[in-house]
Chains A and B, each alone.
Chain A
Amino acid sequence: MTTSTECTSSSEPRRRALKVAVAALCSENGFTSADDTALETLTEMIQSFMSEIGRGVRGYCELAGRTEAMVSDVAITLINMGFNIGGIEQHIKRSNKSVFIPPTQVTAAPIHKTLQAGEKKTHPTHIPEHLPQFPDPHTYIRTMTHQQPMNEYQLMREKAASQKRDVERALTRFIAKTGNTQHLFKDDTTSFPLIAISPSPRPYLNALLPKDQDLDAQEPDQVYSSVSKRRLESQTDSGIQSSASQETVDSDSIDNPYLRPVKLPKKRKR
C-alpha cells in the first residue's frame, strides 16, 4: 500500500478533515462513540484506499494514452481492487446521510517575508498546479568559475618577459649551484656565481663535425671534458677560488643525493 509516513504542513488539515468524515460515517452506522485508535486506523485505511485508487486510475489512464482521468478508468480500478460497484448507488441513497461541514477555511500565510528572495516562477500551462513549485529565482543564477583571460597586449608581453626572466634566472642558479662555477668577485663566492666554462681542447671540432643529438655519443665527451677540466683547474691553480668552490660543490653534491651527477643507464648493445 502506498502509505506515506511524511507529514507536511499541508497534509495535517486534510488528515483531520478525513478523520472527521470517518467519524461522521461511523456515527451514521450507529456508533455513538469510538476509540481513537480505531478512528485512526480507519482514517489511515481510507487514506491508503484513496491513494491506491489514484495510482490505479493513473495507470489505466496512461495505458490508454490519456493524461486526464475518466470515469471508465475509475470503474476499472475499483473493479480491479475487488470493489463492488453496484453497491455505490445503494450507499448513496441511504437515508441517514450526515451533513458534511467542511472545516473552517483557514487562509494561512506561511510564507515568511524575510526568508523569501524574489518571486518564484509560475508553472507553465501544461503543468498542473498541484505539483511542487519552482525553486527561488536565485537558483538559476550562473556565475562563471573561471576568470576572463587577459587579452591586453601590454600585460601579456610583460607577463611573458617576466616569466622568461624568472626561468633563466632559476635555471642558471641551479646549474651554478650544482655544477662548476667561476666567481665574479674574488672575495665574494656566493653573490654572483657564473657557470664555469669548460674549455674543450679542440674547439673548432664541434663546429666542423656534424653530430646527431644522441646522449650516448655525448657521454664519453662529457666524461672527457670533465676530466680534462679538473686537470686544467688543478694545474692552473689560479687565484680564482673556483677549485675550492668546486670541491665544496663536489662535496655538496656527494652529500646531497639530489645533487649527485647524473648516471645514465648503460645501454646494452645487442
Chain B
Amino acid sequence: MAASGVDEVANGIIPSAQTPNTTTSNQNQVEQKTAGVPLSDLVLQLEDFPPTIPDSVTAYYLNKSGFDSSDPRVIRLVSLAAQKFISDIANDALQHCKMKASGQSSKKQGKDKKITLTMDDLTPALAEYGINVKKPSYFL
C-alpha cells in the first residue's frame, strides 16, 4: 500500500505525463486532483476534525526541531500525519494479533474480548516499516 501511495503521489506532483506505463489518462487526472493539491483542501476541512494530539504538544516538539509557524492549521496537519502513522502501525499490530489468535483458538469465543497490544505483535508490525526493535526479555 505504501508503494502504490508513492506512485500516486509521484504522478500527482509531476503533472506532465512522464510515466508511460499508467493505465488511463482519466486515472492520471483523478490522481492529479487528489494528490497534486491534496493538502490545501485538507487544510480547509481541518477545523471540523480536531486531532487527538493537542496542539500545544505538537507545537512543543516541532519548536524543538526549529519549526516555526504561526498558523495552527499547519501544526494540526503535522499532528494528523503523526496520528495516521501510529494508527497504521497499531492496525498492523492488531492484524498480527488476530492472525495469531485465529490460528490458535478458533473454537473459543468468537471474538477475543481482551486484545492486548504487546511487543510480540508490535515487533513484526514495525519490521514491515523497516524499524527493528529489540526488547530485552528480562530486566536485571
**Residues of A at under 8 Å CB distance from B?**
2, 4, 10-11, 14, 17-18, 21-22, 24-26, 28-35, 37-39, 41-42, 45-47, 49-55, 57-58, 61, 67-72, 74-75, 78-79, 82-89, 91-93, 97-98, 100, 102, 128, 130
Contact = CB atoms under 8 A, between A and B. Distances in A.
Contacts of A25: 52, 83, 86-87, 90
Given A42-B122, A68-B71, 12 more contacts: A14-B56, A14-B61, A31-B117, A33-B116, A42-B89, A53-B81, A54-B65, A55-B67, A74-B74, A75-B39, A88-B39, A100-B52
Interface of B: 1-2, 5-6, 8-9, 13, 34-35, 38-40, 42-43, 45, 49-54, 56-71, 73-74, 77-91, 93-94, 113-119, 121-122, 126, 131, 133, 135
10 contacts: A31-B90, A33-B114, A50-B58, A53-B81, A68-B70, A71-B40, A72-B39, A78-B81, A79-B13, A86-B38
Given A38-B118, A71-B39, A79-B13, A29 B94 contact: yes
A31 B116 contact: yes
Contacts of B6: 79, 82, 84
A17 to B, nearest CB: 5
Nearest to A76: B13
Given A32-B116, A33-B116, A88-B42, A83 B70 contact: no
Contacts of A52: 65
Contacts of B135: 37
A17 B54 contact: yes
Nearest to A91: B84
A29 B94 CA distance: 8
**Which of A4, A14, A61, A97 has its CB near the most chain B CB atoms (within 10 A)?**
A14
Given A42-B86, A100-B52, A68 B68 contact: yes
Which applies to chain B's interface (DSSP): helix, strand, loop or mixed? helix
Contacts of A86: 5, 8-9, 34-35, 38
A35 B117 contact: yes
Contacts of B126: 41
B85 A83 contact: yes
A84 B131 contact: no
Contacts of A24: 52
A85 B39 contact: yes
A84 B9 contact: yes
Given A47-B61, A55-B66, A68-B69, A22 B86 contact: yes
A245 B39 CA distance: 108
B61 A87 contact: no
Contacts of B74: 69-71, 74
Contacts of B77: 71, 74, 88
A210 B117 CA distance: 111
Contacts of A21: 52-54, 57, 83
Contact of A30 (B51, B80, B115, B122): B115
B85 A69 contact: no
A137 B5 CA distance: 54
Which 10 A-B pairs give the minimum distances between C-beta atoms? Answer: A54-B65, A84-B5, A34-B117, A54-B67, A130-B63, A54-B62, A91-B84, A50-B61, A29-B90, A58-B66
B49 A92 contact: yes
Nearest to A11: B60
A62 B42 CA distance: 24
B117 A58 contact: no
Contact of B81 (A22, A34, A83): A83
Contacts of A91: 80, 83-84, 87
